[in-house]
Amino acid sequence: MLDHAALAWLLPKTGRHHHKQGRTNAPVFGIETDMAGGGSFDTFPKLLLRNAAQFSTRPAFRLKELGIWQSWTWAQVAEIVRAYAAGLHRLGLQPGDTIAVVGSNRPKLYWTMMAAQTLRAIPVPVYSDAVADELAFVLAHAEAKLVAAQDQEQVDKVLSVSDRLPQLDKIVYDETRGLDSYDHCRSIAIGKVIEDGRAALAGDAALSERIDEFVRAGNGSDIAVILYTSGTTGASKGVMLSTRGCIDAATDTTRFDGLTYDDVVLAYLPLAWVGDHYLNYVQGIIAGFCTACPESSDTIEQDRHEIGPTFYFAPPRGFEAMLTRLMIRMEDAAPIKRRTFKYFLEVARRYGEQVSSGKSVPLSGRLLYALGRFLVYEPLKNVLGLSRVRVAYTAGEAIGPDLFAFYRSIGLNLKQLYGQTEAFLYVTCQPDSQIYSDTVGPAAPNVDIRITESSEVQFHSPGMFIGYFKDQAKTAEVMTPDGYVKTGDAGFLDEKTGHLKIIDRAKDVGKLADGTMFAPKYLENKLKFFPNIREAVTFGDSKEFVCAMLNIDPIAVANWAERNNVAYGSYQELAGHPLVYEMVAKDVAAVNRSLAQEKMLAGAQIRRFVILHKELDADDGELTRTQKVRRRFIAERYAPLLTALYDGSYEADISTEVTFEDGRKGTIAARVKIRDMQVTNGAKPRGKAA
Amino acid sequence: MRAPDTNEILLHVEGVALAFGGVRALRDVSFNVRKGEIRAIIGPNGAGKTSMLNVVNGFYHPDSGTITFKGRTRTRMQPFEAARGGIARTFQNVALFKGMSALDNIMAGRTLKVRRGLLWQMLRYGPALAEELEHRRRVEEIIDFLEIEAIRKVPVGRLPYGLQKRVELGRALAMEPDLLLLDEPMAGMNLEEKEDMSRFIVDVNNHYGTTIALIEHDMAVVMDLSDRVAVLDHGVKIADGTPDEVKKSQAVIDAYLGVSH
């Protein structure tokens, strides 16, 4: 049943690389045989069977349990998934039904998706940190018949809203701890479902035949998965993706980055996020690589070090946090180590990018870089668990040029991509030889992009979604009549490189009262590139000038405070400390100076800012689950501060309700200070004195 | 998996008195602990709670009175005998090996379970290795249970206080005790840490069926956790019963809030 010609590209490189002129002029490494979207493998269950035959003894999943990495081969996974599917079938899961998956990255939860797809049912992963209300919304909207939950915490959450979920029939769960005494008519351990399915298959040939029939009947037009968007703009929407689209898109990108069964990923991104579903789940099945699941969310660094992933994705803030921690540790190192580190980072900054992209470098530079690699870069990457990474991506937000250059310079092949759930991730991505910190690359293979007159980016891609689940109106809003999808992002194609540059959400780009362009995200990103600033929210649309609300980075600032004998008792006290204000004001001044250089934005310098007394938090609705700021909501919530920023006062009282992790609510009250900023030449002075 | 609520008495303390010079820390205190329950001993500062615990596990020898544990009555017992007999404890001011990792600290709790001699252990080969692996597996289960995977290899001296308390609980659990004595498990913790610790105490009781006797200063915490509560004040037991009964007792209210003289 295996189409070996079609599999050729999956095998290790044969040395027959050639450049193929794609639609995007991007060099595509591959072998002539065109899989055209998986050849005869148009569904995930079929690909799983292929993997079981082709990569039977290769590891498919790993999970650290009781301190030891446990592995499952593709053959084992195929057997388990089949038994699991039989078990779910016996629980009443029918083709077209939805099954929600809520929890962190666990093999059994990935297998739930595979088992559901085997039955032609539709998995709906849900953010595991969603509070009960958000969870209830998604489960109700998706009409989930079953829920696969990771542990007691998630089961409790589902049970707490079950009266709002008439369709919900049963809950299956992975970790049994604490669940022994629950009503087992309603909730069953996944292990039991698998055992039950296995026993039933063994004793019932007709059932076995029925499962085979589901797999045979499955086809590319089946809905593979419904991914709920994180809700940057209001209630989340269920993005329906077709099996054919998923497989086509991921086939292109696994080929683009040369991913094979030899690769390993560490699955630590939220299950419900398109990034995890695409990069780990779908690419994993297509390339046959191994997905390793961390022991817990606190052990990711250690697990990354032990697993040594070869393909790695992290949002910019992930790379930033890694660097911040590293720098803090370096400050505690012995002076000689510190000096060596500083010296060779400078060497890397000068020669690193050229050496890795194969450009000409003077011999002395080459030698120094080689020495640095031995003494600093490789040990450093080893500590970070990045030694074996061949391809690393970042996306989701703009990445700071210094941060990006740092990782590139120590020899990490870090690239940028731009995408969204509706595209099933990739819209653009940077080929290995064309890397810039301020672009997101040319269109991905087989993707068409165009920029409208209002500078909105639109695309047409193999993986693009079918529509929003039960929301024809919203679907019509984002699909153009000629089959393109509106991203809602403003951007332009860079003249020099032909790459796409993203400025901001199209609807967020506004104007100051005097007509100066105001791109809040652009300003916020510039602010956030400073290590002391964790989060920034800027205001200015239709106002006279620009103001900012800032969050300090607790790790970086606490470390600074310790070194400078600044005493504080709480986050709130630290955030309001005069010396902290002093330090942050310097960063804001630097942003203003850099804005003054840009013709279009010189008038949008930050005149006043305030450091918030609490961290912006997704539980309070201030950030989305993917950690993006919800500007409008924050403006309402912190209205007294916003008023004070514009009426010239230097202090304001604010009281905010906060939600704790267990769902209880409390209130934080504070008096926060407001700071005036000088603007740099080029902008006209503020009209009214404070 | 909670142990059945039998009325079987695991520990019986009868008429215990203890004095340090002129200070009479305990005066004729009697109480018992039933198998499978969570038993609390509370009282204001200086009430004699820790002294009581120290008497139970053999740190102090009472001046008079008897202690019956698992049917064996004795007046004097050494701490190691108590440990061997199945009594484990944690301390008010965390007593861990600060320079050792969390894992090694918990492994230390297995010491009494090690069957092979020192020489075998040093060889770390064959049966000794197999045994060590078995101990390690038990310890890993505890680490998983207490959700401290991330700090497995961190020297405990570098851990925040709340986590040190959890490691100490882990070490006590590693002994697979019949009776677990907790000396102010919540002392010095913030609210979140207290809630975590309360959950672990209840889980230990449910999951392992371990009988727990805990001393606590903070009354609110104890009332939610315990099956029965004994109240000490100035070395005298002033109340004993279910949390509800104790809450209503006038003597307890007076001891905690003070009485106008």
Q: Does A648 touch chain B (CB under 8 A)?
A: no
Instruction: Give one word for A247, left, alpha or beta, with left for phi > 0 and alpha for psi -120 to 50.
Output: alpha
A12 confidence band (pLDDT: 50, 70, 90): very low
| Contact (CB, 8 A) for A309 and A388 | yes
Chain A's closest residue to B152, CA to CA, is A67
CB atoms under 10 Å from CB of A485, counted, come to 20
Distances (CA, A) of A353 to A371, A401, A410, A411, A418: 16, 13, 8, 8, 22
> A579: which residues sit within 8 A by CB, 6+ positions away?
A564, A566
Instruction: Check residues A235 and B167 and name the one with the higher pLDDT.
Output: B167
Mean per-residue pLDDT, A671-688 = 70
Q: What are phi and psi of B77, to 5 degrees?
A: -150, 140
Q: Which two tokens stand for residue A181?
A: 């005494």
Residues A140 and B201: their CA atoms lie apart, in Å, by 36
Angle formed at CA A78 by CA A265 and CA A43, multiple of 5 degrees: 80
Angle formed at CA A101 by CA A661 and CA A92, multiple of 5 degrees: 135
Measured between CA atoms, how close is A311 to chain B, in angstroms?
Answer: 23
Q: Does B176 touch chain A (CB under 8 A)?
A: no
CB spacing of B1 vs A180 below 8 angstroms? yes
| Contact (CB, 8 A) for A199 and A215 | no
Measured between CA atoms, how close is A66 to chain B, in angstroms?
Answer: 5
- Flag residues of chain B having pLDDT under 50: 1-4
Domain locations along chain A: 36-299, 312-387+389-505, 509-676
A29 confidence band (pLDDT: 50, 70, 90): very low
Distances (CA, A) of A676 to A549, A595, A606, A610, A686: 12, 17, 9, 9, 11
Instruction: State whether residue B16 is helix, strand or coil.
Output: strand
Q: Which of residues 504-563 of A touch B (CB under 8 A)?
A: none
Neighboring chain A residues of B1 at a CB cutoff of 8 Å: 180
Chain A's closest residue to B199, CA to CA, is A178
Measured between CA atoms, how close is B71 to chain A, in angstroms?
Answer: 32
CB spacing of B144 vs A66 below 8 angstroms? yes
A649-672 tens-digit pLDDT: 898 998 888 877 777 788 888 888
Q: Which two tokens stand for residue A411?
A: 């020899």
Residues A410 and A397: their CA atoms lie apart, in Å, by 22
CB spacing of B152 vs A67 below 8 angstroms? yes
Angle of the B191-208 helix axis to the B161-174 helix axis, nearest 10: 10
| CATH code 3.30.300.30 for A509-676 | yes
Mean per-residue pLDDT, A552-567 = 90
**pLDDT value, residue A136:** 93
Lowest mean pLDDT among A379-393, A440-454, A455-469, A502-516: A502-516
Any idea what DSSP says for residue A263?
A: -
| Contact (CB, 8 A) for A24 and A36 | no
**pLDDT value, residue A231:** 64
Neighboring chain A residues of B149 at a CB cutoff of 8 Å: 67, 295-296, 298-299
Angle formed at CA A433 by CA A432 and CA A435, multiple of 5 degrees: 85
Neighboring chain A residues of B153 at a CB cutoff of 8 Å: 302
Q: Does B138 touch chain A (CB under 8 A)?
A: no
Alpha-helical (H) ranges within A308-461 are: 316-331, 335-347, 353-356, 363-372, 378-384, 401-409
Pick from A672, A652, A674: nearest CA to A574: A672
Q: Which two tokens stand for residue A47?
A: 């690909």
CB spacing of A66 vs B152 below 8 angstroms? no
Torsion of CA B74, B78, B84, B88, to 10 degrees: 100
A126-171 tens-digit pLDDT: 999 888 988 999 999 999 999 999 999 999 999 999 999 999 999 9
Neighboring chain A residues of B140 at a CB cutoff of 8 Å: 66-68
**pTM for the whole thing?**
0.79
CATH number, span B1-86+180-261? 3.40.50.300
Chain B's closest residue to A67, CA to CA, is B140
CB atoms under 10 Å from CB of A28, counted, come to 18
| Contact (CB, 8 A) for A505 and A488 | yes
pLDDT of A250 strictly over 60:
yes
DSSP H or E segment with residue A75: helix A74-90
CB spacing of A178 vs B203 below 8 angstroms? yes
Torsion of CA A474, A478, A483, A484, to 10 degrees: -160
B67-92 tens-digit pLDDT: 898 888 877 778 888 888 889 999 88
Q: Can you name the CATH fold of A36-299?
A: Rossmann fold (3.40.50)
Q: Does B27 touch chain A (CB under 8 A)?
A: no
Q: Are strands A146-149 and A170-173 parallel, antiparallel or unpaired?
A: parallel
Neighboring chain A residues of B152 at a CB cutoff of 8 Å: 67
ipTM: 0.77
Residues A134 and A621: their CA atoms lie apart, in Å, by 11
CB spacing of B152 vs A180 below 8 angstroms? no
Q: Which of A66, A180, A296 sits opposite B141 (nearest CB)?
A: A66
Mean per-residue pLDDT, A68-91 = 96
Mean per-residue pLDDT, A500-516 = 83
Burial B19-40 (b: 16+ CB within 10 A, else e): eeeeebbbbebebbbbbbbbbb
Q: Does A299 touch chain B (CB under 8 A)?
A: yes
Interface test with B, best of A63, A65, A66 (most B CBs within 10 A): A66
Q: Which two tokens stand for residue A455?
A: 């500078």
Domain B88-176: homologous superfamily in CATH:
P-loop containing nucleotide triphosphate hydrolases (3.40.50.300)
Measured between CA atoms, how close is B163 to chain A, in angstroms?
Answer: 14
Chain A's closest residue to B202, CA to CA, is A178
Mean per-residue pLDDT, A625-634 = 84
**pLDDT value, residue A275:** 93
Neighboring chain B residues of A68 at a CB cutoff of 8 Å: 140
**pLDDT value, residue B6:** 61
Q: Which of B1, B136, B150 sits opposite A299 (nearest CB)?
A: B150
**pLDDT value, residue A627:** 77
* SS3 sequence of A457-524: EEEECCCCCCEECCCHHHHHHHECCCCCEEEEEEEEECCCCCCEEEEEEHHHCEECCCCCEECHHHHH
Q: Does B74 touch chain A (CB under 8 A)?
A: no
**pLDDT value, residue A396:** 82
Q: Does A298 touch chain B (CB under 8 A)?
A: yes
CB spacing of A66 vs B140 below 8 angstroms? yes
Length of chain B (residues): 261
Burial A192-204 (b: 16+ CB within 10 A, else e): ebbebbbebbeee
CB spacing of A66 vs B147 below 8 angstroms? no
**pLDDT value, residue A289:** 96
| Contact (CB, 8 A) for B218 and B184 | no
Neighboring chain B residues of A180 at a CB cutoff of 8 Å: 1
Q: Does A67 touch chain B (CB under 8 A)?
A: yes
Q: Does B140 touch chain A (CB under 8 A)?
A: yes
Interface size A-B, in CB pairs within 8 Å, comes to 28
| Contact (CB, 8 A) for A37 and A243 | no
> A679: which residues sit within 8 A by CB, 6+ positions away?
A592, A596, A605, A607, A685, A686
Q: What are phi and psi of B109, to 5 degrees?
A: -65, -15
Residue type for position A209: E
Measured between CA atoms, how close is A414 to chain B, in angstroms?
Answer: 27
Mean per-residue pLDDT, A104-116 = 97
CB spacing of B137 vs A66 below 8 angstroms? yes
Instruction: Give one word for B184, left, alpha or beta, with left for phi > 0 and alpha for psi -120 to 50.
Output: left
Angle formed at CA A44 by CA A43 and CA A48, multiple of 5 degrees: 125
Chain A's closest residue to B206, CA to CA, is A178
**pLDDT value, residue B220:** 80
| CATH code 3.40.50.300 for A312-387+389-505 | no
Residues A295 and A106: their CA atoms lie apart, in Å, by 9
| Contact (CB, 8 A) for B53 and B26 | no
Residues A632 and A610: their CA atoms lie apart, in Å, by 17
* SS3 sequence of A156-220: HHHHHCHHHCCCCCEEEECCCCCCCCCCCCCEEEHHHHHHHHHHHHHHCHHHHHHHHHHHHHCCC
Q: Does B141 touch chain A (CB under 8 A)?
A: yes
CB atoms under 10 Å from CB of A666, counted, come to 9
Instruction: Give one word for A556, left, alpha or beta, with left for phi > 0 and alpha for psi -120 to 50.
Output: alpha
Q: Which two tokens stand for residue A264?
A: 């390993």
CB spacing of B149 vs A296 below 8 angstroms? yes
| Contact (CB, 8 A) for A510 and A518 | yes
| Contact (CB, 8 A) for A610 and A549 | yes
Burial class (CB within 10 angstroms; exposed 0-12, middle 13-18, buried 19+) of B251: middle
Q: Which two tokens stand for residue A596?
A: 């003054």
Residues A678 and A685: their CA atoms lie apart, in Å, by 9
Domain locations along chain B: 1-86+180-261, 88-176
| Contact (CB, 8 A) for A63 and A293 | yes
Asked whether the CA dihedral A495, A498, A504, A505 is positive or negative, the reply is positive
CB spacing of A296 vs B147 below 8 angstroms? yes
CB spacing of A295 vs B149 below 8 angstroms? yes
Measured between CA atoms, how close is A202 to chain B, in angstroms?
Answer: 32
Mean per-residue pLDDT, A48-71 = 94
CB spacing of B150 vs A296 below 8 angstroms? yes
What average pLDDT does the structure give for chain A?
87
Q: Which of residues 160-199 of A touch B (CB under 8 A)?
A: 177-178, 180
